[in-house]
Amino acid sequence: MSQAVIVDKLSVHYTIEQQPEPIVALDEIDLSVKKGELVTIIGPSGCGKSTLLHTIGGLISPTSGSIHIDGTPLLGPDPKRATFVFQEYTLLPWKNLVENVALGLKFAGIDRASRTARAMEQLKLMRLEQYAHMHPDQVSGGMQQRVAVARALAMEPQLILMDEPFGALDEQTRMMIGAEISRIFTLENRSALFVTHSLDEAVFLADRVILLTTRPGRIKEEIIVDEPRPRTRKFLETRRFVDIRSHLFASLDVPAGDREGADT
Amino acid sequence: MRRRIYQLKIWMAQTAVVLAIVGLWLYVTGPGGVSPLLIAPPGDTLQELWQLIWSPGTWSDVATTGSEIVAAVLIAVSSGFVIGFLGSRTAFRLEVWEPLVALGYTIPFVVFYPLLLLWLGIDEASKIAFGALNGFFAMALNTMKGFKSVDQKLVRTAYAFGATPRQIEWAIKLPAAMPIVLSGVRIATALALITVIFAEMVGSRKGLGFQLAKTTGTLQTSLSYAYIIFILMFVGILHVIIERASSTRR
């Protein structure tokens, strides 16, 4: 497998008022994603995992370091190479679902007929084609997030960046959609970086789990999850899943009294 | 079924209230002995209303008042949108403009009407200016609020999906601001409408408001009642048209 994404010594510093020292959100992160690989990023809250994702996608300019996708440097958002699925539902409320899926295609200047056709294909993949002409407020939160995934996939990017996309959903729905995403990403051989604060989600979805530390954000550990994809819920009950999960839990080293960063 | 019977009961009660009011009206103008100069009998009022509808003079008043209202609304909505839009372009401009416009919204402009009459004369221009002035601030304030409240998450999403600055303006910010902007249109229209009619009542030579003031002043009570009903129907129709035109399509 060739490398789809190479992140080299990526640092992001912030300066805020009343504080002369810049805050080091990310400190020399080295990271790569192979073609077709699904990598999850986990860490305590405030560790900069969302910042890392937004920087890799070009929404935040790094203080130093570089991002290469498909061998060329990424200097700003480029939805042909990397698209986002954000934490909140970010569908346009005045557009129906198929128009929402076609958003990036519209901005790319693709004509209405072909962008609608491509968007419908993605909705079919998500088994949502019968809701194509409904508006976001007429469907459930889980469906809205699947539409957001379809919108990201419709661009046929090399890399999909997912920022706690199912954080607002209940555990049941989250695992169901997770399995669905896993199936589609495997089918289409997409690479993905997936930020989560749920240990179960991190292990269940990933080929590789990356553990970040807090301030400065550094990579503490990488764990390979050696289990073929797509996976079924049975994987959740296997010895290997439980072992990796408890190892990660120990590594997270959550200080007592500050446990909201990790779901247990 | 139970739901429908309940609905029927509501209608019956409402009809009873309306009938009671009409009954009271009939009573005080008949056996009650109140002078028809003070309260016109319902029969006379309806007769006057019927004649009013069939008189060409009425429709020339409708044309005068209607064109004043349309002009006032167009000026209020377009200038309010432009000022509201420009005033919301940066955080600095919003800080400067929003309190000023909000303050302007609270000014009772009726105190300026004599001045407007002095400057613009007794005919259409002063009515249009007065109506536009009253509608403008509601439109400008709502436009500012609309653009201010655009969800930044949607802007960021569009940026991430490759939108150019121009596409962010037209495809994201404008439609996102639209519901609040349209409620500005509705408020501005309602204000312009009522102030134009009021301005005609206070000082003018034609229009529905003028006729109402004239007939009341000359104790043609049943005719003035007919004008009141006519104006209420006219305003009602305009409201329905505006409501239809400015509702968000779904």
Asked if A86 and B248 come within 8 Å (Cβ–Cβ), the reply is no
Asked if A78 and B162 come within 8 Å (Cβ–Cβ), the reply is yes
Name the percent of chain B lying above pLDDT 70. 99
Q: Over the stretch A160-211, which tens digit does the pLDDT of each residue have?
A: 999 998 888 888 888 888 888 888 888 888 999 999 988 888 899 899 999 9
Which chain B residues are closer than 8 Å to A59 by Cβ?
Answer: 156, 159-160
pLDDT at position A259:
47
Quick one: pLDDT band at residue A263, thresholds 50, 70, 90?
A: very low
Asked if A86 and B153 come within 8 Å (Cβ–Cβ), the reply is yes
pLDDT at position A264:
41
pLDDT at position A16:
81
**CB proximity A165 to B under 8 Å:** no
Average pLDDT of every residue of chain A: 87
Which chain B residues are closer than 8 Å to A103 by Cβ?
Answer: 157-158, 161
Range of lowest pLDDT (A42-51, A57-66, B91-100, B117-126) = A42-51
Residue whose C-alpha is closest to residue A210's, from A48, A85, A59, A4: A48
Every domain range in chain A assigned CATH 3.40.50.300: 3-81+158-252
**CB proximity A156 to B under 8 Å:** no
**For the residues A126-142, what does the mean pLDDT come to?**
92
Q: Over the stretch A186-198, which tens digit does the pLDDT of each residue have?
A: 888 899 999 998 8
Asked if B161 and A78 come within 8 Å (Cβ–Cβ), the reply is no
pLDDT at position A91:
95
* Dist. CA A230–CA A187, nearest whole Å: 9
Question: Measured between CA atoms, how close is A236 to chain B, in angstroms?
Answer: 33
DSSP string of chain A? --EEEEEEEEEEEE--TT--SPEEEEEEEEEEEETT-EEEEE-STTSSHHHHHHHHTTSS--SEEEEEETTEE--S--TTTEEEE-SS----TTS-HHHHHTHHHHHTT--HHHHHHHHHHHHHHTT-GGGTTS-GGGS-HHHHHHHHHHHHHHT--SEEEEESTTTTS-HHHHHHHHHHHHHHHHHHT-EEEEE-SBHHHHHHH-SEEEEEPSSSB-EEEEEE----SS--GGGGGSHHHHHHHHHHHHHH-PPTT--TTSB-
pLDDT at position B250:
44
Instruction: Return the CATH architecture of domain B47-246.
Output: Orthogonal Bundle (1.10)
**CB proximity B159 to A under 8 Å:** yes
- Closest residue, chain B, to A84 (C-alpha): B160
Asked if A90 and B154 come within 8 Å (Cβ–Cβ), the reply is yes
Nearest to A103 among B153, B161, B164 (CB): B161
Nearest to B154 among A92, A108, A155 (CB): A92
Q: Over the stretch B203-215, which tens digit does the pLDDT of each residue have?
A: 889 999 999 999 9
Which chain B residues are closer than 8 Å to A108 by Cβ?
Answer: 162
Asked if B158 and A107 come within 8 Å (Cβ–Cβ), the reply is yes
Residue whose C-alpha is closest to residue A121's, from A165, A172, A184, A180: A184
CA angle B160, A22, A25 (to 5 degrees): 45
Residue A237 has pLDDT above 50, yes or no: yes
Quick one: pLDDT band at residue B81, thresholds 50, 70, 90?
A: very high
Strand partners, A161: A84, A193
- Closest residue, chain B, to A104 (C-alpha): B161
* Dist. CA A242–CA A239, nearest whole Å: 5
Which chain A residues are closer than 8 Å to B250 by Cβ?
Answer: 135
Which chain B residues are closer than 8 Å to A86 by Cβ?
Answer: 153, 156-157, 160
Residue whose C-alpha is closest to residue B80's, from B183, B185, B4: B185
pLDDT at position B34:
86
**CB proximity A75 to B under 8 Å:** no
Average pLDDT of every residue of chain B: 92
**CB proximity A96 to B under 8 Å:** no
**For the residues B204-233, what does the mean pLDDT come to?**
93
Question: Measured between CA atoms, how close is B115 to chain A, in angstroms?
Answer: 45
pLDDT at position A1:
52
Residue A256 has pLDDT above 80, yes or no: no
pLDDT at position B183:
93
- Closest residue, chain B, to A134 (C-alpha): B250
Q: Over the stretch B144-182, which tens digit does the pLDDT of each residue have?
A: 999 999 999 999 999 999 999 999 999 999 999 999 999
pLDDT at position A56:
92
Chain center to CA of A166: 10
**CB proximity A44 to B under 8 Å:** no
Q: Over the stretch A40-75, which tens digit does the pLDDT of each residue have?
A: 999 887 778 888 999 999 999 899 988 999 888 988
Nearest to B157 among A78, A86, A155 (CB): A86
Which chain A residues are closer than 8 Å to B248 by Cβ?
Answer: 94
Residue A229 has pLDDT above 90, yes or no: no
pLDDT at position A47:
77
CATH 1.10.10.10 describes domain A3-81+158-252: no
Quick one: pLDDT band at residue A88, thresholds 50, 70, 90?
A: confident
**CB proximity B247 to A under 8 Å:** no
Cis peptide before B175 (omega within 30 of 0): no
Residue A262 has pLDDT above 50, yes or no: no
Nearest to B162 among A77, A88, A94 (CB): A77
**For the residues A149-157, what does the mean pLDDT come to?**
93
Which of B157, B169, B180, B250 would you mutate first to test chain A, the one with the most A CBs within 10 A? B157
Asked if A84 and B157 come within 8 Å (Cβ–Cβ), the reply is yes
pLDDT at position A255:
55
* Dist. CA B193–CA A33, nearest whole Å: 64
- Closest residue, chain A, to B179 (C-alpha): A94
Which regions of chain B does DSSP assign to beta strands (E)?
none
User: Would you say the C-alpha torsion A87, A92, A96, A99 has a positive or negative sign?
Assistant: negative
pLDDT at position B147:
95
Which of B161, B178, B182 would you mutate first to test chain A, the one with the most A CBs within 10 A? B161
